[in-house]
Structure 1
Amino acid sequence: MVTTAAPLPPATRSSLPSDAASVLELAARSMFDLFASASEGMLLVDRDARVVWINDQYRRFLPALGFAREEDFVGHPVSSVVQNTQMHQVLKTGKPILIDLLSNRAGTFVVSRIPLRDAEGEVIGVLGIVLFDQPTANLQPLIGKFAQLQQDLDDARRELAAKKAASPGVARTARYSLASFIGTSPAAVEVKRQARRAAQSASPVLLLGETGTGKELLAHAIHGASARAAGPMVSLNIAAVPDTLLEAEFFGVAPGAYTGADRKGRVGKFKLADGGTLFLDEIGDMPPGLQAKLLRALQEGEIEPLGSNQIVRFDARVIAATSRDLPALVREGRFREDLYYRLNVLPIRVPPLRERRSDIPALVETIGEDMAHRGVSPPELTADALALLAAQQWRGNIRELRNVLEQAALRSDASVLDAEQMEAVLRQSGLASVQPALPPEPQAPDSGALLRPLQAQVAELEQRAIAAALKATGGNKLATARLLSISRAKLYARLEDNGEPPTGKP
């Protein structure tokens, strides 16, 4: 029997009526059923602080927390799937937290956390209960005060982090978590799923993706969710270091190794990352002469500092990232094939922003919050302006989106920007061409309606895209075909299929 109450002492147990155990069991079951039906959500963690169960009410929070599937949430450590949780603390101390405020990506909630004990009194799990997900008017003053205190705490943490970053010899830790990778699109959820799996391994990880997609953020998140989270997180951008200095950056320098060298020597990044994670950004830019030495270091787990005959052991998990086509570099002989296979153990492709356009509204909101924290008032965008942003190609991905939003805040005096004003900002920001926003997608059919064949849905999407492009080009067929990246003959064929003669501007 599992109950939230401590076991009764023998003397007390002997003085109870014979049906006391049944009464206690009935009370525990009744309380559980009451909370399960009356609360806004419940989850249960086991003695290892892993989520083992959630009820139907709690499942509606999963998308806001960044999970599309229940199996990506249940079975994982609660601290890795619920921001700011205190469930593991209750499990450790055995003391309940009857009323508390929990704030995370899904919102601010009034919660209760109750330890579960077996018949011997040992804590075997914790029950978390969401009492209110939309606090009543009576609780609003408390919520407001909590939000202000949380903002003050965040400001103080950022200021402290900035001071530490400016000081020499500071601890190197992960700056981001998986919750920092904003998005609930299928592509974003899949990336976070792969990152969680990678965090449970000690094998090298290779992050592949265009510039600005968030590869460094994911590297920090993988480190923070791994068993090495307490160790250092050391980063090195290979493209930013001259080739002649890379070996010293990697392996360190012995005291007095060469003229001008530090008499105390210098520790390399591999040794700095000992016990933690070494993130090698832009690995595709590594000079061929250094690739063999890197391969040996990864295989043997040892390095030899410049000017030294001593072998130095290290234990660092390597995460590499590149925006270049490594297989093509291997074929061209510019990147060692054996090093590629050594790094390509757990490859994760980070999708470009144009493959997860549905995440753009959430990204805009997150970037706006960051701008506000830095003293820049972010503009409010209309639905048409957001649709226009979602239609762009974003060759610079999230980094380019941030740049456009910051320019919009500085270039415009209006607090609300519509599509026309946003288009002007996009043109001023240096985009080669501004893509027209697609018309809003049709309403989803009623639950009882039959789904149309896929071919019909694709044809309708093509019609809307062609109509939007024709409108943007003033009916110019040649310009429309170029805008859609199709031939003019194919455009004419689609117009004829739609019952429209291919007349008008050529």
Structure 2
Amino acid sequence: MQEIPNLPKSVATVLDAFSSLGESFKGAITVNADARITWIDERYRQLLGIAPEAKIVGEPVEDIIPHSLLRRVVETGRPILIDIMAFDDKQFVVCRLPLRNEHGEIQGAVGFVFYEEIDYLAPILEKFETMQKQLTRAQAALSRERQTKYSLSSFVGASAPVRELKAIVRRFALRDGAALILGETGTGKELLAHAMHQQSDRADGPFVAVNVAAIPEALLEAEFFGVAPGAFTGADRRPRKGKFELAHGGTLFLDEIGDMPAALQAKLLRALQEGEFEPLGSNTVKKVDARIIAATSQPLEQRLEDKTFRADLYYRIAVLTIYVPPLRERLDDIGLIAESLLESIPRPRDQRGWVVTPDAVEQLTRHGWPGNVRELRNVLERAAAMAPSEVIDIELVRRALPRDAARMAPNQIAGDLADRLAATERAALVDALAAEDGSRSAAARRLGVSRSQFYEKLKRHQLE
């Protein structure tokens, strides 16, 4: 090995050991504790195209080798045993080791180039690059998933209830307190949560949505708060972040929070009050800054009476409360909503677009819509599937509507406003009971009313 002046004894020992490998490595370099070059051999200079007279000793290593990771080795004290480093249009297989003195203190680092021609590694490199691209695409897709998909303009409607709703959402978006969105299923609660996040100061942060009702109870705590390595048999050896941590700096949307088990409600309350949580199987407390927007189609007041939902949690999340009106309370919007929905319903290639006739829209306004906009979309999809042309007329709508609703002829609900509202409410009760297989409690929850209110309405419409 060539003579190396003023090298620490530990560096010389390492280089002596590697010199016995002969041609196994093609160059070497050392840096001090500040990651400044202390020595580089002639072979490495030639690989890098550095002139022999160039003065590079004492320079930061990144100024000479931009992709060098020797500084990381110095700062962490951990070796990088095998890596591929790019330099101009070349690629080197390199090894990097920390250098310590007799007291174990970091004195610097040494780097070796094993191979400068790695054509025979092409299959491995190609596979590595493919995996990198897949990882990049997956990260980009995940990032897109954690951004909002809807704006306030996505909530279609021009009726007075919708104008008032949008004004409230805009005001609440500027606040940072927890928000509770109440409304029946299919009314667009998640859409409004997206819109609130998009118009808030947290818009650049993540938007993480969790459907509480869709996650098995046994997995809810891990899903919310994450899992420490080895927390239970079969757990990953690496920590797994929970939704709270993923939403840090942004918004956490809790859909169907009324279905949250009591045990998890207490832990959620602590996370909201203290801004901290403990991952499952960990004793480490983590801080989190996330705005909570919750939503439910269930009457939480009834859950409070039944003591299945904590009152302290309810008052914590209901700082800002938004009520989303059901479709039957804004029938004037059905025409606009139908046109918007039809734009996303597939059509034959020879058709320019769907056309819904005025009398078809009128027929749609006569239904109670217990499933709200979601049910309206299903009806329109059925009508479109049966349509022989791009025109969706009243007959197609009648055939696509639920059986009881389709049987209602125009003269059966003609009359003043009170008669029309009564007919619509009766149809909603019938549809809800049919959808829930006759269960009155489930039908009441579906319509967002208490059981006592539901029974009173059944009696009023002689549906007992």
TM-score, structure 2 as length reference: 0.58
Whole-angstrom CA distance in 2 between matches of 1:231 and 1:169: 10
1:344 aligns with 2:344: no
Whole-angstrom CA distance in 1 between matches of 2:284 and 2:461: 65
Structure 2 unaligned runs (5+)?
1-136, 425-456
Whole-angstrom CA distance in 1 between matches of 2:139 and 2:371: 27
Question: How far 1:399 sits from its partner (Å)?
Answer: 0.5
Task: State whether residues 230 and 276 of structure 1, in contact with CA within 8 Å, keep that contact through their aligned partners in structure 2.
Answer: yes
Question: Which aligned pairs between 1:194-205 and structure 2 lie closer than 5 A?
Answer: 194-205=168-179
Give the letter for the 1:252 counterpart: G
Task: State whether residues 193 and 253 of structure 2, in contact with CA within 8 Å, keep that contact through their aligned partners in structure 1.
Answer: yes
The equivalent position to 2:340 in structure 1, one of 359, 366, 387, is 366
Whole-angstrom CA distance in 2 between matches of 1:436 and 1:304: 60
TM-aligned CA distance change 1:190 to 1:464, over 3 Å:
closer
Task: State whether residues 251 and 271 of structure 1, in contact with CA within 8 Å, keep that contact through their aligned partners in structure 2.
Answer: yes
Whole-angstrom CA distance in 1 between matches of 2:145 and 2:395: 47
Task: State whether residues 379 and 408 of structure 1, in contact with CA within 8 Å, keep that contact through their aligned partners in structure 2.
Answer: no
| Residues 390-431 of structure 1: per-residue CA shift (max 9 Å, x gap) | 11111110001011111111122232232123211214xx66
1:420 aligns with 2:395: yes
Give the letter for the 1:412 counterpart: A
What percent identity do the matched residue pairs reach? 52
Match of 1:388 in 2: 363
| Residues 271-324 of structure 1: per-residue CA shift (max 9 Å, x gap) | 100000000000000011111000000000001001111100000000000000
| Residues 63-97 of structure 1: per-residue CA shift (max 9 Å, x gap) | xxxxxxxxxxxxxxxxxxxxxxxxxxxxxxxxxxx
TM-aligned CA distance change 1:217 to 1:374, over 3 Å:
farther
Whole-angstrom CA distance in 1 between matches of 2:216 and 2:341: 32
Question: How far 1:165 sits from its partner (Å)?
Answer: 9.1
The equivalent position to 2:296 in structure 1, one of 301, 322, 329, is 322
Task: State whether residues 302 and 312 of structure 1, in contact with CA within 8 Å, keep that contact through their aligned partners in structure 2.
Answer: yes
Whole-angstrom CA distance in 1 between matches of 2:459 and 2:355: 32
| Residues 155-194 of structure 1: per-residue CA shift (max 9 Å, x gap) | xxxxxxxx86994565611111111110010111111111
TM-aligned CA distance change 1:385 to 1:176, over 3 Å:
same
The equivalent position to 2:269 in structure 1, one of 262, 274, 295, is 295
Task: State whether residues 339 and 356 of structure 2, in contact with CA within 8 Å, keep that contact through their aligned partners in structure 1.
Answer: no
Whole-angstrom CA distance in 2 between matches of 1:487 and 1:371: 36
Question: Which aligned pairs between 1:54-203 and structure 2 lie closer than 5 A?
Answer: 167-168=141-142, 172-203=146-177
Task: State whether residues 392 and 434 of structure 1, in contact with CA within 8 Å, keep that contact through their aligned partners in structure 2.
Answer: no
| Residues 441-479 of structure 1: per-residue CA shift (max 9 Å, x gap) | 9xxxxxxxxxxxxxxxxx8445788999xxxxxxxxxxx
Whole-angstrom CA distance in 1 between matches of 2:268 and 2:350: 43
Whole-angstrom CA distance in 2 between matches of 1:304 and 1:363: 44
| Residues 357-392 of structure 1: per-residue CA shift (max 9 Å, x gap) | 111111111111122599796642211111000111
Q: Secondary structure at the match of 2:344?
A: helix
Task: State whether residues 265 and 313 of structure 2, in contact with CA within 8 Å, keep that contact through their aligned partners in structure 1.
Answer: yes
TM-aligned CA distance change 1:385 to 1:432, over 3 Å:
closer
TM-aligned CA distance change 1:166 to 1:373, over 3 Å:
farther
Task: State whether residues 379 and 400 of structure 2, in contact with CA within 8 Å, keep that contact through their aligned partners in structure 1.
Answer: yes
TM-aligned CA distance change 1:374 to 1:351, over 3 Å:
farther
Q: Secondary structure at the match of 1:258?
A: coil
Whole-angstrom CA distance in 1 between matches of 2:461 and 2:305: 33
| Residues 20-47 of structure 1: per-residue CA shift (max 9 Å, x gap) | xxxxxxxxxxxxxxxxxxxxxxxxxxxx
Task: State whether residues 413 and 419 of structure 2, in contact with CA within 8 Å, keep that contact through their aligned partners in structure 1.
Answer: no
Q: Secondary structure at the match of 1:223?
A: helix
Give the letter for the 1:272 counterpart: L
- Give aligned pairs, total: 293
The equivalent position to 1:335 in structure 2, one of 299, 303, 309, is 309
Match of 1:411 in 2: 386
Whole-angstrom CA distance in 2 between matches of 1:439 and 1:380: 27
Q: Secondary structure at the match of 1:207?
A: strand
Question: Which aligned pairs between 1:180-329 and structure 2 lie closer than 5 A?
Answer: 180-329=154-303
1:402 aligns with 2:377: yes
Give the letter for the 1:357 counterpart: L
Whole-angstrom CA distance in 2 between matches of 1:373 and 1:199: 37
Whole-angstrom CA distance in 1 between matches of 2:423 and 2:142: 59
Give the letter for the 1:361 counterpart: G
TM-aligned CA distance change 1:209 to 1:463, over 3 Å:
closer
Match of 1:127 in 2: none
Q: Secondary structure at the match of 1:280?
A: strand
Question: Which aligned pairs between 1:473-484 and structure 2 lie closer than 5 A?
Answer: none
Task: State whether residues 148 and 207 of structure 2, in contact with CA within 8 Å, keep that contact through their aligned partners in structure 1.
Answer: yes
Task: State whether residues 347 and 354 of structure 2, in contact with CA within 8 Å, keep that contact through their aligned partners in structure 1.
Answer: no
Give the letter for the 1:420 counterpart: E
Whole-angstrom CA distance in 1 between matches of 2:140 and 2:385: 28
Whole-angstrom CA distance in 2 between matches of 1:355 and 1:219: 21
Whole-angstrom CA distance in 2 between matches of 1:328 and 1:376: 52
| Residues 52-71 of structure 1: per-residue CA shift (max 9 Å, x gap) | xxxxxxxxxxxxxxxxxxxx
Which has the higher Rg, Structure 1 or Structure 2?
2
Whole-angstrom CA distance in 2 between matches of 1:167 and 1:486: 52
Whole-angstrom CA distance in 2 between matches of 1:173 and 1:463: 45
Match of 2:327 in 1: 353
Question: How far 1:233 sits from its partner (Å)?
Answer: 0.3
Structure 1 unaligned runs (5+)?
1-162, 442-458, 469-482, 489-506
Whole-angstrom CA distance in 2 between matches of 1:289 and 1:270: 17
Whole-angstrom CA distance in 2 between matches of 1:255 and 1:170: 27
Whole-angstrom CA distance in 1 between matches of 2:411 and 2:177: 43
Question: How far 1:484 sits from its partner (Å)?
Answer: 12
Q: Secondary structure at the match of 1:210?
A: coil
